[in-house]
Amino acid sequence: MPWRAPSDASAVLAQARNENFPVALRLLPRALRRDLLALYGFARLVDDIGDEAPGDRLAALDAVQRDLARAFAGRAQHPVLRALEPTLAAHAFSARPFLDLIEANRRDQRGTRTQSWNELLAYCALSANPVGRLVLGVFDAATPERERLSDAICSALQVIEHCQDVAEDAVRGRFYLPHEDLARSRCTEMDLVRSPAVPALRSVVSQQIARSRALLAEGEPLLAELRGFARLAVAGFTAGGYAACDAIERAGFDVTSRTVRASKGARVLWMLRLLVRARRRS
Do 179 and 238 reside in the same domain of the chain?
yes
pLDDT in tens, 34-79: 899 899 889 999 999 998 889 999 999 999 999 999 999 999 999 9
**Domain endpoint, select from 39, 61, 92:** 92
- 103 within domain boundaries: no
What integer pLDDT is reported at residue 160 of this predicted model?
98
Amino acid, res. 253: F
Mean pLDDT for the stretch of residues 168-179: 95
Instruction: Say how many C-beta atoms besides its own lie within 10 A of residue 209's C-beta.
Output: 21
Percent of the chain's residues with pLDDT above 70 = 91
**Domain endpoint, select from 61, 92, 123:** 92
What integer pLDDT is reported at residue 15 of this predicted model?
63
Cis ω on the peptide bond leading into residue 196 (within 30° of 0)? yes
Instruction: Say how many C-beta atoms besides its own lie within 10 A of residue 22's C-beta.
Output: 20
Residues facing 112 on adjacent strands: 174
- 261 within domain boundaries: yes
207 contacts 253 by C-beta, under 8 angstroms = no
What integer pLDDT is reported at residue 112 of this predicted model?
82
Q: Which residues contact 227 (CB under 8 A, 6 or more apart)?
A: none
Our count of domains for the chain comes to 2
Do 182 and 42 reside in the same domain of the chain?
no
Residue 27: burial class (beta carbons within 10 Å; 0-12, 13-18, 19+):
exposed
Do 40 and 165 reside in the same domain of the chain?
no
- 102 within domain boundaries: no
Do 125 and 209 reside in the same domain of the chain?
yes
pLDDT in tens, 207-230: 999 999 999 999 999 999 999 999
Q: Who has greater pLDDT, 11 or 160? A: 160
Do 237 and 119 reside in the same domain of the chain?
yes
- 220 within domain boundaries: yes
Predicted confidence band of residue 2 (pLDDT cuts 50, 70, 90): very low
**In this structure, is the dihedral angle defined by the CA atoms of residues 79, 83, 88 and 89, taken in order, positive or negative?**
positive
Do 136 and 269 reside in the same domain of the chain?
yes
- 101 within domain boundaries: no
* Rounded Cα–Cα distance for residues 241 and 191 (Å): 25
Do 36 and 144 reside in the same domain of the chain?
no
What integer pLDDT is reported at residue 151 of this predicted model?
98
* Through-space distance between the first and last CA atoms of the chain, rounded to whole angstroms: 48
Instruction: Note down the domain range covering 40.
Output: 1-92
pLDDT at 268 over 50: yes
Q: Which CATH number is 225's domain given?
A: 1.10.600.10
Do 17 and 85 reside in the same domain of the chain?
yes
Chain CA centroid to CA 179, Å: 21
Predicted confidence band of residue 30 (pLDDT cuts 50, 70, 90): confident
- 194 within domain boundaries: yes
Residue 14: burial class (beta carbons within 10 Å; 0-12, 13-18, 19+):
exposed
Provide the pairing of β-strand 174-175 with 112-113.
Answer: parallel
* Rounded Cα–Cα distance for residues 17 and 197 (Å): 28
277 contacts 220 by C-beta, under 8 angstroms = yes
For the chain, what is the mean pLDDT? 91
Do 195 and 257 reside in the same domain of the chain?
yes
Do 47 and 158 reside in the same domain of the chain?
no
**Domain endpoint, select from 27, 61, 92:** 92
Mean pLDDT for the stretch of residues 227-237: 93
Mean pLDDT for the stretch of residues 164-180: 95
Do 124 and 217 reside in the same domain of the chain?
yes
Alpha-helical runs (H) found in the chain: 9-18, 30-52, 57-72, 79-90, 96-109, 117-127, 129-138, 144-164, 166-171, 179-184, 199-219, 221-225, 228-250, 264-281
- 99 within domain boundaries: no
Enter the DSSP assignment of 95. Answer: S
pLDDT at 22 over 80: no
The dihedrals phi and psi of 37, each to the nearest 5 degrees, come to -65, -35
Mean pLDDT for the stretch of residues 130-159: 97
- 97 within domain boundaries: no
102 contacts 64 by C-beta, under 8 angstroms = yes
Do 179 and 76 reside in the same domain of the chain?
no
Residues facing 174 on adjacent strands: 112
